[in-house]
């Protein structure tokens, strides 16, 4: 039985090596299929077409692989769904990629996990340590790679939103100070955007650029709140837009929103401290206390077994 498994593993390794070599040879073939009509006439009408978007007439094996990879990414996106949630988390994390690109990287990690699992299984079988349980290792590593990329996105979105909520009170107070000094709202936002560093300043800079390209200030601020998708930022943006539309004193509104943001940060800090305090009880109850009881009781039990005392 072991000899049969060894022969099968060796056949798999040799087959994979032969397939990889064959694919490398096919990738050097200059033409894999005939060019389409648009690709044949594109060089002759380049004066009315985009030269960057013109695809070459020679299509090799790499183009077929790219097309298959694009189809696989689109199929994975359609199969898993959740594009709205992924787009929301991508905006919160500040990643400049779309859902298809995210799914493509997730698919690449899943395939990498599958390949690594298959290699580990083959190595273990060749070493004579194979078992039927190893068959679930490649799928587990594939699922783990896909989930790791998704968890990384969630963590990045959560961390960036926390940084934005921490920076929000300072930015609101700075805006209120600029307005109290006599500057307009757009000039105050532009001054905040000129500051280096910080997540809120980058979002404010994007809003100023949107105003400069034709959007109204209210629409730019609403888009800012939609991109960040944070309760504190959305609440501040809603009050600020309402104050702009109704002509209310903006400095007082910003001071009030900064105070509310600081109170919200204090409440969040107290809640986080309470959760951490409860989490600290876990090692105390399940690790330190049992060891203390063991050290206190074990000498007495040992003496009783020896019949001493």
Distance CA 183, CA 139 (A): 60
Give tens-digit pLDDT for 28-57: 665 555 666 776 777 676 554 444 444 444
Residue 97: closest CA among 140, 47, 157, 138: 157
What residues contact 12, with CB distance under 8 A and at least 6 apart? 122
Q: Decide if 211 contacts 217 (C-beta within 8 A).
A: yes
**pTM of the predicted protein model:** 0.64
Distance CA 186, CA 99 (A): 33
- DSSP letters along 67-89, please? HHHHHHHHHHHHHH--HHHHHHH
Q: Number of helices and strands (H, E) in the chain?
A: 12, 0
Predicted pLDDT at 152: 92
Predicted pLDDT at 49: 46
What residues contact 68, with CB distance under 8 A and at least 6 apart? none
Q: How far is CA 103 from CA 35, 141, 170, 228, 274, in A?
A: 29, 17, 37, 22, 37
Predicted pLDDT at 155: 92
Predicted pLDDT at 292: 86
Predicted pLDDT at 51: 46
Q: 259: which 2 tokens?
A: 């105070």
Predicted pLDDT at 58: 44
End-to-end distance of the chain based on CA atoms, in angstroms?
61
Predicted pLDDT at 264: 84
DSSP state of 60: -
All residue ranges of the chain with pLDDT < 70 are 1-10, 13, 26-36, 39, 43, 45-82, 308-309
């Amino acid at each position: 039985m072991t000899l049969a498994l060894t022969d099968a593993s060796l056949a798999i390794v040799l087959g994979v090596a032969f397939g990889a070599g064959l694919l490398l040879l096919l990738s050097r073939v200059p033409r894999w299929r005939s060019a389409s009509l648009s690709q044949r006439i594109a060089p002759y009408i380049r004066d009315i077409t985009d030269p960057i978007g013109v695809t070459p007439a020679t299509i090799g094996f790499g183009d077929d692989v790219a097309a298959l990879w694009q189809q696989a990414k689109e199929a994975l996106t359609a199969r898993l769904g959740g594009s709205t949630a992924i787009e929301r988390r991508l905006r919160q994390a500040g990643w400049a990629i779309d859902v298809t690109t995210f799914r493509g990287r997730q698919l690449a990690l899943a395939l990498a996990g599958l390949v690594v699992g298959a290699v580990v299984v083959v190595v273990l079988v060749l070493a004579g340590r194979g078992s039927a349980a190893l068959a679930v290792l490649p799928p587990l590593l594939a699922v783990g790679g896909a989930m790791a990329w998704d968890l990384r996105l969630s963590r990045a979105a959560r961390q960036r939103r926390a940084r934005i909520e921490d920076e929000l009170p300072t930015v609101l107070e700075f805006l209120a100070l600029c307005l109290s000094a006599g500057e307009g709202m757009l000039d105050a936002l532009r001054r905040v955007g000129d500051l280096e560093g910080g997540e809120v300043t980058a979002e404010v800079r994007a809003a100023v650029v949107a105003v400069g390209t034709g959007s109204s200030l209210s629409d730019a601020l609403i888009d800012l709140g939609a991109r960040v998708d944070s309760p504190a930022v959305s609440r501040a943006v809603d009050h600020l837009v309402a104050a702009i539309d109704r002509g209310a004193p903006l400095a007082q509104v910003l001071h009030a929103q900064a105070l509310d943001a600081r109170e919200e940060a204090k409440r969040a800090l107290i809640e986080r401290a309470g959760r951490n305090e409860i989490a600290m009880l876990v090692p105390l109850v399940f690790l330190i206390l049992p060891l203390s009881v063991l050290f206190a009781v074990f000498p007495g039990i040992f003496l009783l077994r020896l019949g001493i005392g």
